[in-house]
Amino acid sequence: MIIDITEVQDINSFYRVESFKGVYGILWVLVPILTLVLGITIGVLVIVWLEREISAGLQQRIGPEYAGPLGVLQALADGTKLLFKENILPSRGDTRLFSIGPSIAVISILLSYSVIPFDYHLVLSDLNIGVFLWISVSSIAPIGLLMSGYGSNNKYSFLGGLRAAAQSINYEIPLTLCVLAISLLSNSLSTVDIVEAQSKYGFWGWNLWRQPIGFIVFLISSLAECERLPFDLPEAEEELVAGYQTEYSGIKFGLFYVASYLNLLVSSLFVTVLYLGGWNISISSPYILVGELFEINKAREVFGTTIGIFITLVKTYLFLFIPITIRWTLPRLRMDQLLNLGWKFLLPISLGNLLLTTSFQLLSL
Q: What is the DSSP string of 124-154?
A: S---TTHHHHHHHHHTTHHHHHHHHHHHTT-
Among 350, 328, 342, smallest CA distance to 230 is for 328
Closest CA to 44 of 95, 13, 78: 78
- d(CA 343, CA 323) in angstroms, rounded, equals 22
**Residues in the chain with pLDDT values less than 70:** 1-25, 27-29, 282-300
> Residue 276, CB half-sphere, CA atoms under 13 Å: how many?
23
- Going from N- to C-terminal start, the domains of the chain cover 1-84, 85-358
Find residue 54's DSSP bridge partners.
Answer: none
Q: Report the candidate in 139, 137, 142 with the shortest Cα–Cα distance to residue 164.
A: 142
Q: Around Cβ 254, how many Cβ atoms within 10 Å?
A: 20
Say what the pLDDT of residue 207 is.
Answer: 92
Closest CA to 246 of 158, 164, 332, 334: 158
DSSP state of 88: -
Question: What integer pLDDT is reported at residue 82 of this predicted model?
Answer: 82
